Amino acid sequence: MKKIITFILILMLAPVCYSYSLNGFTEQFARKFKTCEPYYEEVSFNANGRVFHDKKQITGWFGDYCGYKQTVRTSGVTLYAACAFTRSQVNTLYNALLIQPKVFGVDNKTQDIWDSYVLNPQNCKLSNKNLFKESTKLDKKYIPRF
């Protein structure tokens, strides 16, 4: 009986474990973002001994803009982004989701492109804006990147 339960758990968890690509985004997220279809995902991860809780939400089309929200929490600090992307920007960001680095977390062009859009005040409103800017200067490895 224990073997059967273990086998079922492995089958259930296997798709979750392998659904993340090397650029840090899930395949499901990329598919939904391509058409700006409403979607929500939440993941927790440990980076250098610090636990991060990351929530991403595609809220759908609002006129000519695709709504996107992200909340990242760690050790009492919450970073929040609320974005509105044009169709052209959605296409650019979707194409960035298709780029795969050779090694997870190293030379991640996808992350660089997403950062440039999320950190642009014309696209997104950020909580703790100064923390976003300062954190990348001070201790890049501990702050999750969008």
Question: Which tens digits make up the pLDDT trace of 111-125?
Answer: 888 889 988 999 999
Plot region of 57 (φ>0 → left; ψ -120 to 50 → alpha; else → beta): beta
pLDDT higher than threshold 70 for residue 89: yes
Indicate whether this model's pTM tops 0.85.
Answer: no
Residue 83: what pLDDT? 96
Check pLDDT > 50 for residue 46.
Answer: yes
Average pLDDT, the chain: 75
Give the sign of the dihedral formed by CA 71, CA 72, CA 78, CA 82.
negative
Higher pLDDT, 110 or 17: 110
What is the structure's pLDDT at 38? 98
- Cα gap 116→102, rounded to integer Å: 21
Q: Which of 93-97, 110-114, 128-132 has the highest mean pLDDT?
A: 93-97
